[in-house]
Structure 1
Amino acid sequence: MTEFSSKVFEYEKFVNEKLKEDLRLILEQRDKTYQQIAEYLQLKTSIEKIQEVKLTEGLKTKVDLGCNFYVQANVPDSSRIFVFIGFGFFLEMTHDEALKFIGKRTKLLNVHVEKLTDDAAKVKANIRLVLEGLRELQHISNEQETPKREM
């Protein structure tokens, strides 16, 4: 019986330390990707507003220096902007180039989100499979008893 208990403990440890940690990391990565998509869409909206007003010089804006500490900034020429392209690099682009890049980048990021969602579903399925196996081994019923009415 002690060998049986140690095996059950090993499986529980595997679920708690490995599978749940893998799931947490996947969901965390997916949330970061969603954040990147939101930032690109916010940039797209800003570019479209600038194009709508046809403002190319004398743009006044607020810049976040970090920790929600903003300062006012003057942009003498807003016809070109720097766009984050990944790995710490920024590229100077025109508005049209930036909009095209944002479209392609968000499409790519959405594909990545779908893959992470599939990976998370697989890990959840593995967790459920191991837990169901443990319930069977320990002869624990998974069904909840429903309260019965007396007449």
Structure 2
Amino acid sequence: MSQKKLEHLETSYQALKTAQAKYQECGDNVQRINANDRKELLVPLTSSLYVPGKVKDSNRFLIDVGTGYYIEKTTEEALAFFQNRLTKLTEDSKKLSQLINEKLQALERVDSILRAKIMEREKKQ
């Protein structure tokens, strides 16, 4: 296994961790909005521009399910959706972490064998 493939796996692992953090943040935000008595918040227009806004219905959320599709969900449905995604990503990241560790061990074994062969060859010369 090449070093590039291992780096690709590690990059994929980091992407899974980033996605996990985003889904966790989404679930936390749903709970915060639902618990906010005043229903006032700052709405981001750009990464550095926010305007004051009010939540009309704190029990309805539009969830981005991918490729530009949104589904309306209640608070409970939204939290369950994010939890299901987190569970799946956690399982996937565990599998990928295990695969990375196996590949690292295989790479170390190959490296060890190569070093032994080189040392053996040097002794013969």
Report the structure number with the largest CA radius of gyration: 1
Inter-partner Cα distance in structure 1 for 2:111 and 2:97:
21
1:51/1:76 Cα in 2 relative to 1: closer, same or farther (>3 Å)?
closer
Match of 1:39 among 18, 22, 43: 22
Q: Which residue is equivalent to 1:49?
A: 32
2:99 is equivalent to residue 119 of structure 1: yes
CA distance, structure 1, for counterparts of residue 96 and residue 7 of structure 2: 11
Moved over 4 A (4+): none
Contact between 1:59 and 1:78, CA under 8 Å: does it hold in 2? no
5 Å-filtered alignment, 1:126-141, equals 126-139=106-119
Indicate the residue corresponding to 2:48 in structure 1. Answer: 69
Structure 2 gap ranges (5+): 121-125
Count of residues in correspondence between the two structures:
119
* 8 Å contact from structure 1 (residues 19, 123) kept in 2: no
| Partner AA of 1:126 in structure 2 | A
Cα distance per residue 1:121-151 (max 9 Å; x no partner): 12101210111111011017xxxxxxxxxxx
Q: Is the 8 A contact 1:26 1:116 kept in 2?
A: yes
Which letter maps to 2:51?
A: Q
Task: State percent identity of aligned pairs.
Answer: 18
